Chains A and B, each alone.
Chain A
Amino acid sequence: NAGVTQTPKFQVLKTGQSMTLQCAQDMNHNSMYWYRQDPGMGLRLIYYSASEGTTDKGEVPNGYNVSRLNKREFSLRLESAAPSQTSVYFCASTPRGLQGDYNSPLHFGNGTRLTVT
């Protein structure tokens, strides 16, 4: 099993450009998440999807959109990139669905390192 796969690994954008970060998991997990990680700060939730067909905003959703394409895939889109979006982006998944099971760990991908100039 590959676990959680993120593409691309690295990306450089100019201000105003758009791009989509891709994430896929092969563990049949219900819930998927997008986080950003910045130096000196804890991981911050951008958007999450508790189950196929649902998405919800997290702590820092402004400037981002998401699509839960199917149970495996959850993409993050930057419509008009800004320097403040320079960060490392992590996708994660858990088996947890709408029923709960809060003891499941998050399974993370290896991140996309995005620089916006």
Chain B
Amino acid sequence: KNQVEQSPQSLIILEGKNCTLQCNYTVSPFSNLRWYKQDTGRGPVSLTIMTFSENTKSNGRYTATLDADTKQSSLHITASQLSDSASYICVENVGDMRFGAGTRLTVKP
């Protein structure tokens, strides 16, 4: 199985709330696993990268975690803002890059 799977497909939360997005990847070990944010009508932009030896990495209000035993990565967003409304894409780098279909997050006021 060489598909990266993300859940949920879509999520709606209220401004100020936290949320967690999930990514099931395919290969252990891998070169790296990266999370991208894609605003509507724009190209994806890198948020954070995790190498196989890392368990957690933070970038401001975004925290990515990695569990090699279950082949899962999570992206936790704290104190959400309206500008967090976007799609979040998980990408596994195993030489070639495997893209998840993304989670569409909507933050409502």
A42 to B26 Cα, complex, angstroms: 14
Instruction: Assess whether A106 is in contact with B44, with CB atoms less than 8 Å apart.
Output: yes
Residues A68-117 near B (CB distance < 8 A) = 90, 92, 102-103, 105-106, 108-111
Could you tell me how many residues of chain A have their Cβ less than 8 Å away from some Cβ of chain B? 17
A58 to B103 Cα, complex, angstroms: 24
Instruction: Assess whether A105 is in contact with B43, with CB atoms less than 8 Å apart.
Output: no
Q: Does B7 contact A (CB under 8 A)?
A: no
List residues of chain B with CB within 8 A of the CB of A105: 34, 46, 49
Could you tell me how many residues of chain B have their Cβ less than 8 Å away from some Cβ of chain A? 25
A4 to B98 Cα, complex, angstroms: 21
Q: Does A60 contact B (CB under 8 A)?
A: no
Across the interface, B43 reaches (CB within 8 A) one of A42, A102, A111, namely: A111
Interface centre among B32, B41, B44, B98 (most CB of A within 10 A): B44
Interface string of B49-60 (1 = CB under 8 A from A): 101000000000
Q: Does B89 contact A (CB under 8 A)?
A: yes
Q: Does A2 contact B (CB under 8 A)?
A: no
> B2: shortest Cβ distance to chain A, in Å?
11
Instruction: Assess whether A42 is in contact with B44, with CB atoms less than 8 Å apart.
Output: no
Which residues from chain A sit less than 8 Å from chain B, CB to CB? 4, 40-45, 90, 92, 102-103, 105-106, 108-111
